[in-house]
Copies of this chain bind each other. A is one copy, B any other.
Amino acid sequence: MLAEDRIGEECGVFGMYDLSGGDVARSIYYGLESLQHRGQESCGIAVSDTNGPKGKVISHKDMGLVNEVFTGEDIDKLVGNIGVGHVRYSTAGSSVRENAQPLVLNYVKGTLALAHNGNLTNAPELRDELAYTGAIFQTTIDSELIAYLIARQRLRTASVEDAVALAMPQIKGAYSLVIMSPRKLIGARDPHGFRPLVLGKRDNAYIFASETCALDTIDAEYIRDVEPGEIVTITSDGQILSNKTRCIPEKEHGHCIFEYIYFARPDSVLDGQSVYDARIRAGRFLYKDDPIDADIVAGVPESGNVAALGYSMESGIPYGQVFVKNSYIGRTFIKPGQKNRESSVKVKLNALNHAVNGKRVVIIDDSIVRGTTSDRIIRMLREAGAKEVHMRISSPPFLWPCYFGTDIPAREQLIAYNKSIEDIRKIIGADSLGYLKLNRLGDLVDNKMSICEGCFTGRYPEEPPVSDIRGEFEA
């Protein structure tokens, strides 16, 4: 889907510990670049030298893309063999520098740096509770709450990983965490496993990352996924400690299915399931369940392409390219209210008339959120001469908000909330419109995997918060 109508993933995390003492900032930089699709608002890296003064952390973070925030000089200054990095999703409101991660702090046992992907559903209660015992908050991010809980538990535990283990029962919701203490790197994941987190290795260095594509980028090998509820600790003598006291039965897991449909990069494998394969399957189901005769099938670039391939495989309708996407687009200067003929969609996409003209086109997108761009996409195809335009969506209709780390908007803004599919078809001007069937969701992934499909069904693996938790506190 296009930026205008997109859903934002909250974050990507990356941590690395080179036990041989080599600097990790450069690899973290490339790892974050490969996770940039998970968040484009802000980013940061914090590193420490485990052989230097204890707990001295150097960090650099700011608003912007990884390649905008870091110069080569910045990277050179980040000297250290252990570090964490973070990319954050861009929303208009809370887009302030204070909220950039990793969060770096001093506490009773030295320093910590935290990078968090997810959303705590009991954040308001935690915030109140902490405030009522004298806490002060300099940001509005959940990491600050988690840090407080760890710091308080640390007073009575022998190790930082034990403090993490004691803090985890206090927090609810979705979290994949990478935590750096002076001599340890920790990866932890909520019991439902909403957000992914993988463990990798390169030579004598260990890596935690949101997706396997980040391991590939730095030529590291995939070891395994951090399990839902597990705390994995890399120690300075190279041990991999695992604490599974928070683990729950696999059938209670709630892996976000939308990671497979849209968020993750297709070359990633998350919890043993290839994202690419899931999308191919989605495309196949779309044809199987709702076959139509056409001359060409294509994706809305880039996110619809793989499902379109699956549709083509299943249907035998030739795969084609019907749009050219301009990858050089930056900010657009289209002022609201201005009588301006350049639409922001046109600036980003142009139809390939010669591929489309006279053809019956099946066009695949991953979702329709508000519906504000689908009509323009279809109109562009018709203006390019398409005889018919059939739209297929590789997910079921969004009907419910997400409280577990994505930015699906309030129900009132979801086009499918009040409209029938036929209504939507008319609004966007398609000749036909088909969504992925709800009962196909489970089949997108390995059938042993328990998924969260709350945004489609309203049934969440974990109690949703009473009130909407998103954007409440603001610095």
Contacts and interface: CB of A to CB of B under 8 A. Distances in A.
Contacts of A277: 354
A26 interface: yes
B321 A306 contact: yes
B37 A347 contact: no
Contacts of A333: 26, 29, 70, 72, 75
Given A36-B328, A340-B26, A346 B148 contact: no
A65 B330 contact: yes
A286 B218 CA distance: 35
Could you tell me the dominant secondary structure of chain A's interface residues? mixed
Contact of A56 (B29, B144, B474): B474
Contact of A266 (B72, B132, B352): B352
Interface string A343-361: 1001100111111000000
A334 B138 CA distance: 32
Nearest to A25: B333
Interface stretch (A100-108, A171-179, A396-404): A100-108
Interface stretch (A241-249, A312-320, A408-416, A434-442): A312-320
A36 B346 contact: no
Nearest to A265: B324
Contacts of A155: 132, 134
A33 B331 CA distance: 11
A352 B309 CA distance: 13
Q: How many identical chains are in the complex?
A: 4
A331 B475 contact: no
A281 to B, nearest CB: 11
Contacts of A302: 327
A274 interface: yes
Contact of A318 (B112, B133, B312): B312
B56 A347 contact: no
A340 B269 CA distance: 25
A213 B324 contact: yes
Contact of A319 (B104, B202, B319, B328): B319
B33 A347 contact: yes
A302 to B, nearest CB: 8
A67 interface: yes
Contacts of A134: 107-108, 133, 135, 148, 151-152, 155
12 contacts: A27-B342, A30-B347, A33-B328, A103-B138, A105-B137, A134-B155, A135-B135, A217-B346, A266-B352, A269-B353, A269-B354, A306-B321
Given A33-B330, A276-B354, 7 more contacts: A30-B347, A36-B326, A66-B328, A106-B137, A217-B342, A217-B350, A305-B321
Q: Which 7 A-B pairs have the closest CB atoms?
A: A67-B330, A134-B152, A36-B328, A108-B131, A274-B354, A106-B137, A267-B324
